[in-house]
Amino acid sequence: MASTLDMGDLRYLNLFSKITRINTRHFFQYNNILFFCVPKNLISKALGRNAENLKKISGILKKRIRIIAKPFSIKDAKQFIEKIISPITFQNFEIKNNEIIITAGRMNKAALIGRDKRRLLEMQKIVKTFFKMEFKIV
């Protein structure tokens, strides 16, 4: 998972580590939401009692935060992508050759692509980082 982190990203990771006491290197932004990926068994610890850690980080950064389970293989790709794009849904999910293809309705497709293809480009970068595959919306 070779992705480049800038100083801002390192600050986010450092703050997350200090508050939750969980070290993670898996961080990305999608649709102006900060996502931190932790192992599945540490999600409740990362959230804290009554989601206190989540509220604290969100209050300090003044941004929306989500903590999701880190995918271990391509088998986890569907659930991983569903959690990222939630509440938007898709109809079909396929893995062909070296591509992940999502089929969505007209309105959902527009929401997944975003203005100036911003969300599509963000998702392509995320999929490339975690699964080393291409990403398409049909």
Q: What is the pLDDT of residues 49-94, one digit of tens each?
A: 999 999 999 999 999 999 999 999 899 899 999 999 999 989 999 9
Residue 9: the pLDDT is 87
- What CATH number is associated with residue 56? 3.30.300.20
Q: Number of folded domains in the chain? A: 2
- Confidence band, pLDDT 50/70/90 cuts, at residue 3: low
- For residues 130 and 81, membership in a common domain is answered with yes
Residue carrying the six token digits 């970068």: 125
Instruction: Select from 69, 94, 122 the last residue of a domain.
Output: 69
- For residues 54 and 85, membership in a common domain is answered with no
Range of the domain at 55: 7-69
CA atoms within a 13 Å half-sphere pointing along the CA-CB vector of 66 = 18
- For residues 57 and 101, membership in a common domain is answered with no
- Confidence band, pLDDT 50/70/90 cuts, at residue 5: confident
- Residue-averaged pLDDT of the chain: 91
Report the relative pairing of strands 99-103 and 92-96 from DSSP bridges.
Answer: antiparallel
Q: Where are the alpha helices (DSSP H) in 1-138?
A: 7-20, 43-47, 52-61, 77-85, 106-113, 118-131
